Amino acid sequence: MRHAPPRPDHASTNRIRRFLGRSRRFISFVTALLLFPMLLAASPADQPAVPNLRARLAALDGSDPLPYFLLAEEVASEMRDHKGLALARTLFVLAHEIDRASPHPEGLARSVYLALASIAENEDERDWLLALAGSPPPTIADQANTATLITDALSAARAGDGRSAAQLLDDPSAAAALDRLRRSDPIALDLLLSARDKPSCPICANRRLIKSKAPHPAEGREDPDLVCPECRGNPGPRLTADQYTATIAASSMLLGARHETWSAQAWLDRGAPLRDPTPSELAPYFEVDPQALRWQPELESSNPADGTWTRVGPLN
């Protein structure tokens, strides 16, 4: 005779289920704790922008300019903050100085100048580095007609013809010129933007003349030949001496004019110091010691770009 199977104990079953559920949660929790450090270490934010930077800097010994140059290119590309770009500039300059002092140079000079020009802090610095490289500095932008376009807009602004200035500035190629003008001559830029925002004279609508409603004293007719009191006809708005000088200087700069006299050059750049395009000026300009070729890291800093350069003796 077969016996009926025992009936399940529901209380025991529930206890087993609760135990297994707690066990699975506990195992998941422990697994997460074990994996968290590994995931944190693999986080891209914690990875150095330049792999093994500290060790690669420490390996530089001043005997070969190429490792300095190659590392500088990588740092300049991957570390775009202030410390990274400062380190890149120093590495480029040291590569330049080691190569200059070598009896068998690698010919890195022009590459160094162009690389430094690509991370220059201002237009004057870039133009000087391009002159060192033997490349003429750009007059304004890639398009050949951009300089003429902006100088025409400056002329229109001087004449009070804001409508024409606005049309010229709406050209897509004008953006690069305005960006350069923003850094080099803000007075001329302000005049341009003011002219763009005021496209026509509010009194004569750029017709330059207005009709008088008063009768002509002799003939009893209206006089049509009154000059607009707002824009004064031509040459336009009332410019200060600084505004007028700024527009002429900006036009000269944009067109790449060459000045033969010191007085004309001083008028154009307002007496800014000039640097001769000579290789010996590179290290002093960037305040780099050509003999300080060894890198000493700051061990207490987590930033591999923190450290100092120390001297190793005369270059051979």
Using a 10 angstrom Cβ sphere, with 0-12 exposed, 13-18 middle and 19 or more buried, the burial of residue 155 is middle
Tell me if 61 is assigned to some domain.
yes
List the single range of 128-132, 232-236, 296-300 with lowest mean pLDDT: 232-236
pLDDT of residue 305 exceeding 60: yes
Q: Are residues 261 and 284 in the same domain?
A: no
Report the distance separating Cα 251 and Cα 89, nearest Å: 32
Report the distance separating Cα 252 and Cα 146, nearest Å: 13
Tell me if 141 is assigned to some domain.
no
Q: Would you tell me the crossing angle of helices 82-101 and 65-78 to the nearest 10 degrees? A: 160
Question: Is 78:91 a contact under the CB 8 Å cutoff?
Answer: no
Tell me if 159 is assigned to some domain.
yes
Q: Are residues 213 and 259 in the same domain?
A: yes
The residues, any chain, with a CB within 8 Å of residue 247's CB and separated by 6 or more, are 154, 157, 158, 188, 191, 239
Question: Is 65:99 a contact under the CB 8 Å cutoff?
Answer: yes
Q: Are residues 206 and 258 in the same domain?
A: yes
Question: Is 290:280 a contact under the CB 8 Å cutoff?
Answer: no
CA atoms within 13 A on the CB side of 12: 3
Q: What's the CA angle centered on 206, arms 205 and 209, to 5 degrees?
A: 95
Phi, psi dihedral angles at 4 (to 5 degrees): -65, 140
Q: Domain limits at 241?
A: 146-269
List the single range of 23-37, 179-193, 197-211 with lowest mean pLDDT: 23-37
Tell me if 195 is assigned to some domain.
yes
Tell me if 274 is assigned to some domain.
no
Percent of the chain with pLDDT over 90: 23
Beta bridge partners of 210: 226
Percent of the chain with pLDDT over 70: 63
The pLDDT value recorded for residue 276 is 59
Report the distance separating Cα 178 and Cα 190, nearest Å: 10
Q: Are residues 126 and 226 in the same domain?
A: no
The pLDDT value recorded for residue 261 is 66
The pLDDT value recorded for residue 99 is 93
Q: What is the pLDDT of residues 105-126, one digit of tens each?
A: 888 999 999 999 999 987 778 8
Q: Are residues 295 and 245 in the same domain?
A: no
**3-state class (DSSP) for residue 200:** coil
Q: What's the CA angle centered on 291, arms 286 and 292, to 5 degrees?
A: 75
Report the distance separating Cα 75 and Cα 88, nearest Å: 6
Beta bridge partners of 292: 311
Domain count across the chain: 2
Report the distance separating Cα 249 and Cα 181, nearest Å: 11
Average pLDDT over residues 172-191: 72
Q: Are residues 115 and 181 in the same domain?
A: no
Q: Per-residue confidence at 130, pLDDT binned at 50, 70, 90?
A: confident
Q: What is the pLDDT of residues 139-172, one digit of tens each?
A: 433 444 677 777 888 888 877 777 788 888 787 7
Q: Are residues 130 and 160 in the same domain?
A: no
The pLDDT value recorded for residue 94 is 96
**Residue burial 301-316, b: 16+ Cβ < 10 Å; e: rest:** eeebbebebeeeeeee
Tell me if 64 is assigned to some domain.
yes
Q: Are residues 231 and 297 in the same domain?
A: no
Distance from first CA to last CA of the chain, Å, rounded?
107
Average pLDDT, the chain: 75
Q: Are residues 221 and 286 in the same domain?
A: no
Tell me if 259 is assigned to some domain.
yes
**DSSP structure string for 133-154:** TTPPPPSSSSSTTHHHHHHHHH
Q: What is the pLDDT of residues 200-252, one digit of tens each?
A: 777 777 777 777 765 555 555 555 668 887 777 765 667 788 878 777 777 77
Using a 10 angstrom Cβ sphere, with 0-12 exposed, 13-18 middle and 19 or more buried, the burial of residue 72 is buried
Residue 116: which of 102, 127, 105 has the closest Cα?
127
Higher pLDDT, 249 or 258: 249
Q: Are residues 102 and 150 in the same domain?
A: no
Q: Are residues 158 and 240 in the same domain?
A: yes
CA atoms within 13 A on the CB side of 57: 26
Q: Are residues 264 and 293 in the same domain?
A: no
The pLDDT value recorded for residue 138 is 47
Tell me if 25 is assigned to some domain.
no
